[in-house]
Structure 1
Amino acid sequence: MSGKGVLVYGEALVDIVPATEGRRAEAVLGGSGYNTALTLARCGAKVAYNASLSRDTMGKRFRVRMAEEGIDQRFVSDCDAQTPSATVESIDHDGAASYRFRLSGTAFDVAPPEPADLSDFAHLHVTSFGATLGVSGQAALALMRRAREVGLSVSYDLNIRLPVLPPPDQARSAIEERVPFCDLVKLSYDDAVAVDTGSGQDYERWFAGGLPLVLSTSGDHGADLYLASGGMISAFVPASEVVDTIGAGDSFMGAFLASLWQNGGLGPLLRDLPEEISASAMDFACRVAAETCGERGCKPPRLKPKPPYD
């Protein structure tokens, strides 16, 4: 376990989950950055969050929940713009959701405060369109550069949401601009299809450029961790019940990082990660994601990762 924590950068927004049989419509605190930070905290890791929040009622709810969960808010700022939202328009038979976003003119358009000192952290995680799009994306890119310069390990979750990204060629360009600053890139099967990236050829190019790890998730087919050395570690834990998959990928990523944090796998070691630490993190992340699917919205379980040989 490192005395230094994890800094998470990415959007906070409200997921508007529609009414279902026996349940009313619900506004759930979400957003890929917030969900990942929440999962890290619930899995026992030391975590700080970097984002802009609204001063409105929902923004205050985020503040209260983060205080309850022990998430460091030193790098969270307030603004007068409204809280962004993602309305769930449909949930398919596998529990996957499609969204309609409201970002323009919201707190998403306000760049979060830049941390002046990164010495408290072993790792930076950036995620989703909050790390890729607009002023928030540019601030994320600058933070990734700084983190690498001062020796932090860096991970990037693509978490593609086509309705809010530029055309695929521009989205690919933004992604490729960020990959060289990473030690770990995470993407889902749907991410790879959405912008036609993340193929084996892309992995080889990324590895040749110095990226050590690619983490690929495929929903109920599990996840694969690809190593630049040519190895692969796979894991799968089935969900006993699927209410929806909202935030499942974020909870997977948060749990994966929490396990690495617990077992000293962040910072310089992430660039040469022992297989037993990797495998333990994969199994734990699959378990947490599976349990998250049994809840409405992203409500990850409170689980602590175990040492690799336990």
Structure 2
Amino acid sequence: MTTADRVPAIAVLGSINMDLVTTTGRVPEPGETVLGTGFVMVPGGKGANQAVAARRAGATVEFLGAVGEDVFAAELRSTLTDSGVGVERLRTVPGPSGVAAIVVDADGENSIIVVGGANAELTALDADDLAAIANADILLCQLEIPISAVAAAAAHAKANRTTVVLNPSPVAELPAELWAHIDVAVVNSGEAERLAPVLGSVPHVVVTRGADGAEYRGPDGGSRSSPSPVVDVVDTTGAGDSFTGALAAAWHRGPRAALAFACAAGALATTRLGAGVAIPTAAAIDAALAGRHRSSAR
């Protein structure tokens, strides 16, 4: 088996939400009411989206998170299992599951309000959580759950030689010791500006730039960029999560190949409404890359 053929094991620690997605011609101004054009409920959350993205991109994935005791919980859990994501570490806690209220305008741009619910209760890890992290090739985290859990997971991963990939979104002030445990940071251009003082200490930094693709900076200071395939954008919700999950799934191939693979995944995710349902498969990503290479060769 070659390095490219190897199937990485990824532990994803993060949020899982029910996304309440409204489409409208334009986002209302404060105090204004506008008519919507559609509404769907789609399972999401940055953690769950990235877990599904990594699984569809070819990795084996175990999800560490929490749902509540409400009407959304069963569907959120089944969304992961239907995608082949392991849920042995998905716990149920009292109260509601997390939700995200999302407004998508006619250009496919979105505004999002996240209510943590059960995600906010994920403050500590137990022995089985730690074992799942130690046994993984990669730990993938975001910041829609308490930072205490992310910090504990990253420290344990580092102690067990598990590569730590952090998507520090939504941006928050993080302890210096957490940054010391991060191997790969995945940020958008706005996050890169806000986090510039600390990103310099991270060995590998990937900056996403939407339709302009992404850039990579390695531990030697060298950088490279990868373009994004041209697609018809319907909804940008979850594109960053598709990118990040695919990047983690392909990281063992090396940064150059992983970056191109992730850019294609992020682009394809914008071609359908909703986050989780729009996440592409490895076959679709490979086809998009093949099409881009054929176009470049003409």
Distance 1:142 1:231, change over 3 A: same
C-alpha distance in 1 between matches for 2:265 and 2:47: 17
SS at match of 1:87: strand
* Displacement of 1:223: 0.4
CA contact (8 A) 1:9 1:125 kept: yes
Residue 77 of structure 2: aligned partner: 63
Residue 292 of structure 2 is aligned to residue 301 of structure 1: no
* Displacement of 1:90: 4.9
Residue 237 of structure 2: aligned partner: 246
Distance 1:42 1:90, change over 3 A: closer
Distance 1:183 1:239, change over 3 A: same
Residue 101 of structure 1: aligned partner: 114
SS at match of 2:221: coil
C-alpha distance in 1 between matches for 2:136 and 2:198: 30
Q: Structure 2: give runs of 5+ residues left out of the alignment.
A: 26-35, 287-292, 294-298
Residue 30 of structure 2 is aligned to residue 16 of structure 1: no
C-alpha distance in 1 between matches for 2:144 and 2:136: 23
Residue 29 of structure 1: aligned partner: 43
Aligned residues: CA RMSD: 2.4
C-alpha distance in 2 between matches for 1:73 and 1:160: 24
CA contact (8 A) 2:239 2:270 kept: yes
* Displacement of 1:23: 5.6
CA contact (8 A) 2:192 2:207 kept: no
Amino acid in the other structure paired with 2:270: C
CA contact (8 A) 2:165 2:248 kept: no
Residue 230 of structure 2 is aligned to residue 220 of structure 1: no
1:149 is matched with which residue: 142, 156, 159?
A: 159
* Displacement of 1:119: 4.2
Residue 126 of structure 1: aligned partner: 141
SS at match of 2:38: coil
Q: Structure 1: give runs of 5+ residues left out of the alignment.
A: 131-135, 162-170, 264-276
SS at match of 2:271: coil
SS at match of 2:72: helix
CA contact (8 A) 1:51 1:113 kept: no
2:96 is matched with which residue: 78, 82, 102?
A: 82
* Displacement of 1:97: 1.3
CA contact (8 A) 1:50 1:113 kept: no
Residue 32 of structure 2: aligned partner: none
Question: Percent identity at matched positions?
Answer: 23
Residue 169 of structure 2: aligned partner: 159
SS at match of 1:86: strand
2:227 is matched with which residue: 236, 255, 275?
A: 236
Amino acid in the other structure paired with 1:140: V
Residue 263 of structure 2: aligned partner: 286
C-alpha distance in 2 between matches for 1:121 and 1:41: 14
1:177-216 equivalence runs, <5 A = 177-193=177-193, 196-198=194-196, 202-204=198-200, 206=201, 211-216=202-207
C-alpha distance in 2 between matches for 1:17 and 1:248: 15
C-alpha distance in 2 between matches for 1:281 and 1:109: 31
Q: TM-score when scaled to structure 1?
A: 0.79
* Displacement of 1:3: 6.0
C-alpha distance in 1 between matches for 2:11 and 2:178: 17
* Displacement of 1:109: 2.2
Q: TM-score when scaled to structure 2?
A: 0.82
Q: How many residues align?
A: 267
* Displacement of 1:67: 1.3
